[in-house]
């Protein structure tokens, strides 16, 4: 009996065929019943004994198995962000169709100059392999700095059409929320949906990382007055209706005082006779002040107010204290298989946006795929004719992909070209997913902090024109030397700097040769060859104190041995499991490669890698009474650090 060449490919083609078919059903205003789809949908099968595919039914098996497979396919399609509409047809039968605008934003036409800045911006701050990088760049995407979430797609659309949104959300407890979405706030590398609760009327922020089901755009529409819009604009993480400002005074050394003055606009510093520096900062709330002290750890000594001293003592006494199950007894879900539908649509989008088409080798390089897999995916899009007997053939099907082969006798290995052929001039290329325009907007705004180019702002205007200014971006970190560092990258300059590491209380001189700038979790990092250490190192820009000297680079350091240097921390070091309460999840959610599981008592388990025990000590210090380490090797993490800080109070 013949068998397909790859077991996952029938599933891939069936899902892609179903998406494109249900979109066409929307265009034709003819919703399709489940019986029609199951009976007539055809896909390609590539028998190992034949060179060319044969048409076979997409759904085979007994009635129960077929319908279960159909329901699973619908769920996977919804998980990508497409909204499958269920309608009652004139013949009283239930049919299905997909509104293309539920997943796709309207077309955005960038000029060649705008495409250039978009490509640069995505390299600085993008989703990486999960995002739009490969549509605008010839090479493969590296690690991304943005948090990827398919949940952005329905949320952005709901904001644009002013319709309510329903999703399951994990805070202290997991429950369903129905909200009226107002805008998306991107602050400190984290994205929040700012929305009004239906019924209660409160303006709240919801982290996309804590949504546990794909948001559903409801039929209920809502209106927003100016007062509500103003409240949404003023919302911030840790927002309080009546903030209680608190003045904090600490002692520190000269180097760390300089860093604090740069990072906090209202900070004041005064040198004392004994060499210490007194720093005063006003915070919006006691919580913000306590967080500042914990981040400073041993580098600062609290002077006033006394109420904060008591709160800090209580916090330190509870660092990594409490009961937890054994790390070996905690089950984490297996990593999900690749997003075959999203991968296929990215390939399709890249071909649609290339005037001359793209070769197999070019697509394989862009998307880091095996050439044979590219041939399989694109070949199926070329020959795909689902329900060809029920409708009018492939030319009216959305996937109009043509194949040009240099050597048809050796088609299996030929570096063929795939191109899009449109029936009329009115046809538009497949537009971006809604989450793609979010990625483009954030990336362009990050790029505007690095260099000035009118094309950046004209591209942003085009994005916001189709999205109705759906997003607000805040940059809380003061990175005064960012443009200087980026200029050193583009001009190939060597920099002599003073630098405060994440745990050191004094600055040291470094001589570096910057090679690349990227953004992760709200911070900007520069990858550089460090002449002081004679090795490649990663530096956080906001910890650079001063630029002491500049000079042109004269030596070739060769290629950086670490390809994905931005998130390598997520792949290296020892594995550790921490049990956390819901209110401190935010500290662990940005960790690259973190995996999550929910325990029976409502707490959460997070698994990640640690290459430096000092990093885990500071993480547990910040988490305080909300977290406990379950891994035996690190069960005392944070204890010594907390004791040393407490001894100074």
Q: What is the pLDDT of residue 282?
A: 93
- Confidence band of 391 (pLDDT split at 50, 70, 90): very low
User: Residue 378 pLDDT > 70, yes or no?
Assistant: yes
3-state SS class at 122 = helix
Cis amide linkage into residue 305, ω under 30° from 0: yes
Where b means 16+ CB within 10 Å and e means fewer, 278-300 reads: ebbbebebbebbbebbbebbebb
User: Residue 221 pLDDT > 50, yes or no?
Assistant: yes
Q: What is the pLDDT of residue 46?
A: 62
Q: What is the pLDDT of residue 458?
A: 96
Q: What is the pLDDT of residue 155?
A: 94
12-24: per-residue pLDDT in tens?
778 888 887 888 7
3-state SS class at 639 = helix
3-state SS class at 549 = strand
Query: Tokens 């019943």 identify what position?
Result: 33
The answer to whether residues 402 and 70 touch, using CB atoms and an 8 Å cutoff, is no
Q: What is the pLDDT of residue 255?
A: 86
44-76: per-residue pLDDT in tens?
776 555 566 677 888 888 888 888 989 888 888
Residue 632 burial (10 A CB sphere; 0-12, 13-18, 19+): exposed
- Confidence band of 173 (pLDDT split at 50, 70, 90): confident
Rounded CA-CA distance 241/291 in Å is 19
Q: What is the CATH number of domain 569-647?
A: 3.30.70
Rounded CA-CA distance 248/189 in Å is 26
Residue partners of 101: CB distance under 8 A and separation at least 6: 157
pLDDT above 90 coverage of the chain, percent: 39
DSSP letters of 382-407? HH--TTTTTS--GGGSS--EEEE-S-
3-state SS class at 228 = helix
Rounded CA-CA distance 82/250 in Å is 52
Q: What is the pLDDT of residue 598?
A: 86
- Confidence band of 388 (pLDDT split at 50, 70, 90): very low
Q: What's the mean pLDDT when you consider all of the chain?
A: 85
Rounded CA-CA distance 89/179 in Å is 30
3-state SS class at 4 = coil
Higher pLDDT, 383 or 247: 247
Overall average pLDDT of the 581-590 stretch: 86
456-474: per-residue pLDDT in tens?
999 999 998 888 778 888 8
Overall average pLDDT of the 331-356 stretch: 73
63-113: per-residue pLDDT in tens?
888 889 898 888 888 877 788 888 898 888 999 998 888 888 888 889 999
User: Residue 396 pLDDT > 50, yes or no?
Assistant: no
Give me the numbers of helices (H) and strands (E) for the chain, helices first please: 20, 26
Please state the three-class secondary structure of 315-331 as a single string: HHCCCCCCCCCCHHHCC
Q: For residue 214, how many other CB atoms are within 10 A of its CB? A: 19
Q: Residue 27's closest CA among 110, 93, 132, 104?
A: 104
- Which of 32-36, 246-250, 331-335, 363-367 is modeled with the greatest confidence? 246-250
Q: What is the pLDDT of residue 262?
A: 83
Q: For residue 320, how many other CB atoms are within 10 A of its CB? A: 25
Q: Residue 454's closest CA among 76, 21, 113?
A: 113
């Amino acid at each position: 009996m013949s068998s397909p060449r790859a077991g996952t490919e029938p599933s891939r083609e069936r899902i892609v065929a179903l998406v494109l078919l249900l979109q066409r059903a929307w265009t034709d205003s003819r919703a399709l019943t489940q019986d029609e789809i199951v009976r007539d949908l055809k896909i390609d099968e590539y028998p190992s004994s034949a060179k060319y595919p044969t048409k076979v039914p997409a759904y085979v098996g007994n009635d129960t198995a077929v319908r279960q497979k159909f329901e699973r396919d619908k769920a996977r399609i919804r998980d990508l962000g497409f909204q499958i509409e269920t309608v009652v047809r004139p013949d009283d039968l239930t049919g299905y169709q997909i509104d293309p605008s539920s997943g796709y934003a309207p077309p955005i036409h960038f000029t060649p100059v705008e495409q250039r800045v978009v490509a640069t911006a995505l390299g600085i701050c993008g989703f990486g392999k999960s995002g739009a990088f490969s549509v605008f760049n010839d090479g493969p995407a590296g690690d991304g700095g943005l948090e990827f979430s398919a949940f952005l797609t329905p949320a952005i659309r709901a904001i644009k059409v002013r319709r309510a949104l329903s999703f399951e959300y994990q805070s202290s407890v997991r429950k369903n929320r129905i909200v009226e979405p107002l805008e998306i706030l991107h602050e400190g590398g984290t994205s929040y949906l700012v929305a009004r609760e239906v019924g209660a009327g409160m303006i709240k922020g919801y982290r996309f990382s804590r949504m546990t089901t794909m948001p559903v755009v409801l039929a209920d529409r809502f209106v927003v007055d100016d007062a509500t819009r103003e409240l949404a604009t003023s919302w911030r993480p840790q927002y309080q209706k009546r903030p209680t400002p608190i003045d904090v005074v600490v002692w520190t050394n000269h180097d760390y005082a300089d860093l604090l003055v740069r990072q906090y606009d209202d900070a004041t510093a005064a040198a004392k006779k004994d060499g210490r520096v007194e720093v005063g900062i006003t915070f919006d709330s006691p919580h913000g002040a306590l967080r500042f002290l914990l981040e400073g750890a041993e580098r600062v000594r609290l002077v006033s107010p006394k109420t904060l001293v008591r709160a800090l003592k209580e916090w330190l006494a509870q660092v990594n204290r409490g009961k937890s199950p054994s790390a070996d007894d905690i089950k984490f879900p297996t990593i999900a298989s690749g997003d075959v539908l999203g991968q296929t649509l990215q390939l399709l989008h890249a071909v649609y946006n290339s005037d001359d088409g793209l070769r197999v080798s070019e697509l394989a390089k862009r998307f880091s795929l095996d050439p044979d897999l590219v041939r399989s995916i694109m070949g199926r899009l070329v020959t795909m004719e689902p329900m060809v007997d029920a409708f009018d053939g492939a030319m009216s099907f959305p996937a109009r992909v043509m194949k040009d082969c240099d050597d048809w006798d050796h088609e299996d290995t030929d570096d063929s070209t795939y191109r899009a052929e449109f029936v009329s001039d009115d046809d538009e290329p497949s537009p971006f997913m809604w989450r793609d325009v979010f990625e483009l907007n954030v990336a362009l705004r990050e790029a505007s902090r690095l260099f000035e180019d009118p094309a950046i702002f004209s591209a942003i205007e085009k994005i916001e024109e189709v999205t109705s200014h759906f997003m607000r971006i805040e940059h809380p970190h003061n990175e005064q030397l960012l443009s200087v560092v980026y200029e050193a990258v583009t001009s190939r300059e060597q920099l002599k700097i003073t630098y405060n590491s994440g745990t050191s209380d004094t600055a040291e001189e470094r001589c570096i040769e910057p090679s690349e700038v990227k953004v992760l979790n709200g911070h900007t990092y520069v990858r550089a060859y460090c002449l002081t250490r004679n090795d490649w190192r990663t530096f956080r820009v906001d910890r650079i104190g001063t630029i002491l000297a500049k000079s042109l680079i004269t030596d070739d350091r060769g290629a950086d041995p670490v390809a994905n240097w931005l998130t390598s921390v997520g792949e290296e070091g020892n594995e550790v499991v921490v049990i956390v309460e819901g209110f401190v999840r935010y500290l662990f959610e940005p960790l690259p490669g973190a995996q999550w599981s929910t325990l029976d008592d409502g707490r959460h388990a997070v698994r990640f890698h640690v290459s430096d025990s000092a990093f885990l000590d500071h993480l547990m210090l910040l988490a305080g009474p909300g977290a406990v380490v379950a891994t035996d090797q690190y069960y005392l993490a944070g204890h010594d650090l907390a004791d040393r800080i407490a001894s100074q109070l």
